[in-house]
Chain A
């Protein structure tokens, strides 16, 4: 089956992006280069086409009940216009996806990973039962662009019918772009301040051109990955999957075990009570060679885990990685393609922006 293309596909080609398959889509991995794009986001502002991420909207009186059942975080406790991160777990506490939930006065919305779009849609429909909920998949009809970096809000503040600079972190605002409905949220996946903009597919090119004209640098998936790694944000399929749980992945803050019920709650409560054998940790690795995903992690010559994500960090100019390791680990070695390299456990995130 051919990959899907976002409304900005031709725009990426015109900007000389190198396109790669990702999560069932053809996406830009880089334009001029990972390092320059990474630094643009840390120092100024960069834009990412994140239209491949799935966007669902929910209506009907029972929408909250359905979302609260499949979401490890609290949806009931959200204020209007608030955005909240959490997991969708199966009954045994394995992670089906990590998602964002949006609460509107008139309904709900959800952003889901591209590769999990159909899985989560099927899951929602299976768990819906006889509840009065309508679910609409708006992914293909809309475009989403993330503008990230210390200058992102300043550069974008006059583009919309309503102000956006007063938006609080993890809040969203429906407004207009060129007279058409759009949503701006103060969210992102880079460790920087910034916004994510959702517009109709017909406005996608105009929006991208307008951002480019303001000096926002087009950025690909390559630097999105190095940025999120520095910020220690887990990535589905790497740190997160159906065979690990959110507590071990360091996401207990997004799991509300005090909620009356949600799918996976009992299994997660049991795991917590039993103690976690391995948890997500950050590693700083000697030398410049990067420990890539799958590299074995050793203690005294014995394998204790594998690297889940690793790269050279453009900001810190060090080799950094995340791995699931036995609780209490402080130092270890990483087998980087045959070379046993010393590493030390460091607190996460690797990079935190100055506020």
Chain B
């Protein structure tokens, strides 16, 4: 995955948009902060997700964090492999560790998301 083609949320999800289909995962920065992911709670196919609201949960040994949808739409695919083997998210967050695919709502707007450069700056300044 070319990280330059992705859109990034402040809550550390990435979105890869191709036409009206968006793949969602969490970033390497999120993985570094979480370490050792032990459980994922993901929505079912058909569920509606809304930009900037909760669509699931990622739990690591030490903490629980909400997953926030980067864009609005309907879930058309869930990565059951990653839900069963959460180490996929740790080892390959932009590839085998993707979380859900969304069919974007017609009015889904990306303006609240960051490009790679902005996201990297954001991570460098967040919490330090």
A residues lining the B interface (CB < 8 Å): 18, 29-30, 32-35, 38, 222, 225-226, 287-290, 292, 311-312, 314, 337
Contact = CB atoms under 8 A, between A and B. Distances in A.
B35 A337 contact: no
A290 B64 contact: yes
A311 B59 contact: no
Contacts of A312: 38-39, 59, 61
9 contacts: A18-B33, A34-B60, A34-B62, A35-B35, A226-B62, A287-B39, A289-B39, A312-B59, A314-B61
A311 B61 contact: yes
A287 B33 CA distance: 23
B36 interface: yes
Interface of B: 33, 35-36, 38-39, 57, 59-62, 64
B80 to A, nearest CB: 15
B64 A337 contact: yes
Closest 4 CB pairs of A and B: A33-B35, A35-B36, A34-B61, A288-B39
A255 B57 CA distance: 43
Given A34-B35, A312-B38, A222 B61 contact: yes
A222 B62 contact: yes
A225 B38 CA distance: 17
Contacts, number: 41
Contacts of A30: 35
A220 to B, nearest CB: 10
A292 B64 contact: yes
Nearest to A292: B64
Given A30-B35, A314-B36, 11 more contacts: A29-B62, A33-B36, A34-B60, A34-B61, A34-B62, A35-B35, A35-B36, A222-B61, A288-B38, A288-B39, A289-B39
Contacts of B59: 288-290, 312
Contacts of A290: 38, 59, 61, 64
Nearest to A19: B128
A274 B62 CA distance: 38
Contacts of B33: 18
A38 B64 CA distance: 19
A35 B61 contact: yes
Contacts of A311: 61-62
Nearest to A35: B36
B36 A34 contact: yes
Nearest to A287: B39
Nearest to A317: B38
A44 B37 CA distance: 23
A222 B38 CA distance: 15
A226 B39 contact: no
Contacts of A337: 57, 64
